[in-house]
Structure 1
Amino acid sequence: MFRYTEMQGGMHMLKELTQMAEKSSYIDPALYTKYEVKRGLRDITGKGVLTGLTEIGEVHSYIICDNEMVPEPGRLFYRGIDVADLTEGFMKENRPGYEETVYLLLFGSLPTRARLEEFNELLADYRTLPRSFVRDMILKAPSKDVMNMLARSVLALYSYDDNADDLSIENVVRQSLGLIAQFPMLAVYSYQAINHYHGNQSLIIHSPKREYSTAENILHLLRPDSSFTPLEAQLLDLALVLHAEHGGGNNSSFTTHVVSSTGTDTYSAIAAALSALKGPRHGGANIKVVQMFDDIKNNVSDWQDEGQLRTYLRRLLNKEGFDRTGLIYGMGHAVYSISDPRAEILKAHCKSLASDKGLDDEFDLHQRIERLAQEVIQEERKIYKGVSANVDFYSGFVYRMLNLPPELLTPIFAISRISGWSAHRIEELVNKGKIIRPAYKSISKRCDYIALDERNNE
């Protein structure tokens, strides 16, 4: 009885403290305008506040004409190369492209055929984990979230590195290549552990194959029978390439710059980037797209009835449907307005996989929702720029067709983006910038200290 009463008292105090925390943390939104605070490091036009320079990735969505921003179809460049040209190049030759993309991002140029073969062999050498790591760090006490297990595993790898704190570029390159090669195992093994201990499923741990690409190894490690089709591997590889980098200003890459600027170790910097990516406003958005389409299928009887679909979309915007956030997931982007090139590339290639899987109706539904959502958002919202489908809109569909479990969608993003994070970390260290510390203005009123016995907080 005492314990129950004690817990009740604790819960009552927790609620009271929560109310105090909320009240003391609230800031009048008008003050952000008054002091010209660029919330989200973006101005009122949506243009990002310039906080750094990079040679790694460029996101292009507008031109300046007569001192005004004029939106253009989105383009994405890796080290100056248009991603549309990059993907067309390796897909024409019917070969994987993620590994050469990693090479391009880290080292600044495309590899020759001989160099790429050597690089693939080097990644295969790194595609191993320390002895007993899977048993001791992954299979013991698995959490219910793969991203948390991935971050924990990355931090644990610090303990197995004799030169963990060495910030020489050679050492950081070694660490980066190791993490790039190890991420598929860390993510898939974490999922398998969760599936076994929390889902009552058989525990299946495959070893990676040297001759497989990153995408092929993901499918091999994940599936009980290790089987996959060339088309499945090709689409997953394409998704990895398109998620590998998105400029220094995206939240997780900027986090990598911020944390690296303190002089911390590689494992801590990458764990911080993983934490940033986990959020539903960043890497977790693709899960929401998949869940939203499941909700559409459950609530719209005729997928070809545009009236029903419009009604559903308006309910989403009015916070009356799905998760009641007022969002149509997969639509809109902080930078792109007319089009997201990654979504355009994925859409162009996923139709073949949809046909192969007998999911033409679902592909048509995605295209219909994409078109109608743009119209409904324009009608219902006052927006300063156009709105288009972002990469999550179609990547979620691709992952669903590949039968990837929802728990692995954001980790797949991490498996890809580790290449971009590594490049940005190296860039930050090479240029020896100052510790990143933007300004925050305090609006708290000055007050006197009050002795303990004289305080009255009522």
Structure 2
Amino acid sequence: MSEVPGLAIEPAPRSSRNGSHSESDEEKSEGFKKPDLKETLREVIPEKRALLKKVKANGSKVIGEVKVENTIGGMRGLKAMIWEGSVLDPEEGIRFHGRTIKDCQKELPKGKTGTEMLPEAMFWLLLTGKVPSVGQVRKFSRQLAEQASLPEFVNKMLDAFPTDLHPMTQFAIAVSALNYTSKFAKAYERGLNKADYWEPTFDDCINLIAKLPTIAAKIYQNSYRGGGALPADVDPEQDWSYNFAAMLGKGGPKNENFQDLLRLYLALHGDHEGGNVSAHTTHLVGSALSDPFLSYSAGLQGLAGPLHGLAAQEVLRWILQMKENIPAKYSEKDVHDYLWSTLNSGRVVPGYGHAVLRKPDPRFEALMDYASARPEIARDPVFQLVKLNSEVAPEVLKKHGKTKNPYPNVDSSSGVLFHHYGFHETLYYTATFGVSRGLGPLAQLIWDRALGLPIERPKSINLEAHAVSRTLIGTALVPALFEYP
């Protein structure tokens, strides 16, 4: 393979803005000297492999049934894949290794400033099932900062894109191009014991997570700020979210609230079980032993779809449109009537309902609690309209009778918060989602390799097989699923 000028695969040596790095009191502490993430995972893997062996012994046990509605309805509800990090309950919402969002907000380490959990602490929990110490997370944050810079050829590629090329197109291409640096791909070419697949996969995943904010910030700078250097360099003394905020132009003490919002947003959006499009796509492509860069690039392209990752921008556009079409001093009735006019025109109310949830989305509640506790957001007219909508819309949607879940989902609140802090470029919101969503699928991809899970290959069935009394499947003639009258 030929050299690419400026390619920097290995992380730069530790440094700070004042020059060479010296060990701080925090680093000398016992918490900082506990096993790092890779060693913690190495300790967990044997136990998980033993559990998989026990599960395999019950391979013939039935865990569910497949109905016709499953095959034509997007496979909703089918229990058909392994996903370690989170479980989504229709009534309770998401749990991360048994912990609710509120549990995580209490237990996971927080930034040096602010009060919200760190996304890198969430990744640690997703991957290992353990809550890291403050020292362990600080060390991990520094590792991510050290690997955040992009190879020069990726920088040049991003600079060469048309500024109006969709941010998600740019994002997916850049992540895919990082495949050039893949340790897993190179190790697989040389020959690697299957039991060891997880190690270079881990290295690739950490390298990618480290670079996601840099890619996203570079896209924002080129597309909306005229290009040129990013507003700030990555600071190895700061956390992943702070550095992302700083590269977006929101560094320093005056932007602490935005930095804390970003921590919460990135932690909340990191994982939501394995069946959603971006997570499942990453898992599916990875099951063919594609490296993490190619796998997550595919996931990003799924995230770019209007039915998946574009919802936050659609909610904000709809809210702003509502604001323009109701009186300045609007009442609850004005909102009620506007909701009905939307529904009666054959359109949907964006930001409500969920494929699995049947109660209000706990992620929505967490973001609303964050906003309500900060007077500068609580006074924002757009936020107030979102809040009133969340109170009025459920009853309207229940009376309309065409949704199984009339409650707000996370997309109802996320876009308006970015808007409050000056990010009005709604096309970019999905790129921020893409930075976050890397956490869950990449953690699972490491487990896919550690457990030796096979390539995904479900059986497909055509409409005739549903409709006729007998059909040929494979080489055997079998009864159809049912008889039509």
Q: TM-score, normalised by structure 2?
A: 0.74
Q: Aligned partners of 2:444, 2:67: CA distance in 1, in Å? A: 32
Q: Aligned partners of 2:165, 2:437: CA distance in 1, in Å? A: 22
Match of 1:310 in 2: 336
Match of 1:364 in 2: 384
User: Are positions 1:402 and 2:421 aligned together?
Assistant: yes
Q: Aligned partners of 1:115, 1:226: CA distance in 2, in Å? A: 24
What's the C-alpha RMSD, in Å, of the aligned pairs? 2.6
Spell out the pairing of 1:90-101 with structure 2 (5 A cutoff): 90=109, 94=115, 96-101=117-122
Match of 1:7 in 2: none
Spell out the pairing of 1:46-195 with structure 2 (5 A cutoff): 48-61=77-90, 72=91, 74-89=92-107, 90=109, 94=115, 96-134=117-155, 136-142=156-162, 144-161=165-182, 163-166=184-187, 168-195=197-224
Q: Which runs of 5 or more structure 2 residues have no equivalent in the other structure?
A: 1-65, 189-196, 466-485
CA distance 1:396–1:334, shift in 2 (3 Å): same
Match of 2:434 among 414, 439, 445: 414
8 Å contact kept, 1:303–1:365: no
Q: Which runs of 5 or more structure 1 residues have no equivalent in the other structure?
A: 1-31, 43-47, 62-71, 321-325, 446-458
8 Å contact kept, 1:215–1:233: yes
Spell out the pairing of 1:177-326 with structure 2 (5 A cutoff): 177-195=206-224, 201=226, 203-205=228-230, 206-223=232-249, 228-302=254-328, 304-319=330-345, 326=347
Match of 1:393 in 2: 412
Q: CA deviation at 1:308?
A: 2.0
Q: Which structure 1 residue ranges, 4+ long, deviate > 6 Å from structure 2? A: 32-36, 224-227
8 Å contact kept, 1:164–1:266: no
Q: CA deviation at 1:57?
A: 0.5
SS for the counterpart of 1:229 is helix
- CA offset digits 1:131-178 (Å, max 9, x no partner): 3531x2210133521111111001111123465354621111111111
8 Å contact kept, 2:176–2:294: yes
Q: CA deviation at 1:378?
A: 1.0
Please tell me the residue identity of whatever aligns with 1:423.
A
- What is the aligned residue count? 387
CA distance 1:35–1:276, shift in 2 (3 Å): closer
- CA offset digits 1:306-359 (Å, max 9, x no partner): 222122111222336xxxxx2111111111112211111111111234x22573
Q: Aligned partners of 1:303, 1:338: CA distance in 2, in Å? A: 31
- CA offset digits 1:183-237 (Å, max 9, x no partner): 01101101221235xxxx3634232222222221222111288774222211111
CA distance 1:303–1:214, shift in 2 (3 Å): farther
User: Are positions 1:37 and 2:71 aligned together?
Assistant: yes
Q: Aligned partners of 1:356, 1:35: CA distance in 2, in Å? A: 47
8 Å contact kept, 1:165–1:264: no
CA distance 1:372–1:185, shift in 2 (3 Å): same
Q: Aligned partners of 1:237, 1:219: CA distance in 2, in Å? A: 9
8 Å contact kept, 1:340–1:390: yes
Match of 2:350 among 329, 338, 359: 329
- CA offset digits 1:79-114 (Å, max 9, x no partner): 222221111345698365212112111233111222
Q: Aligned partners of 1:365, 1:130: CA distance in 2, in Å? A: 44
- CA offset digits 1:222-270 (Å, max 9, x no partner): 1288774222211111111110111111221111221111122221111
Match of 2:456 among 410, 423, 436: 436
Q: Aligned partners of 1:330, 1:441: CA distance in 2, in Å? A: 33
CA distance 1:218–1:343, shift in 2 (3 Å): same
Q: CA deviation at 1:392?
A: 0.6
Which range moves more in the overlay, 358-367 or 110-119? 358-367
Q: CA deviation at 1:280?
A: 1.6
Q: Aligned partners of 2:359, 2:70: CA distance in 1, in Å? A: 28
Q: Aligned partners of 1:360, 1:193: CA distance in 2, in Å? A: 29
Q: CA deviation at 1:286?
A: 0.5
Please tell me the residue identity of whatever aligns with 1:350.
A
Q: CA deviation at 1:361?
A: 3.4
Q: Percent identity?
A: 27
Q: Aligned partners of 2:269, 2:294: CA distance in 1, in Å? A: 22
8 Å contact kept, 1:126–1:181: yes
Q: Aligned partners of 2:457, 2:115: CA distance in 1, in Å? A: 46
Q: Aligned partners of 1:251, 1:178: CA distance in 2, in Å? A: 23
CA distance 1:179–1:259, shift in 2 (3 Å): same
Match of 1:342 among 363, 369, 379: 363
SS for the counterpart of 1:37 is helix
CA distance 1:357–1:372, shift in 2 (3 Å): closer
User: Are positions 1:423 and 2:443 aligned together?
Assistant: yes
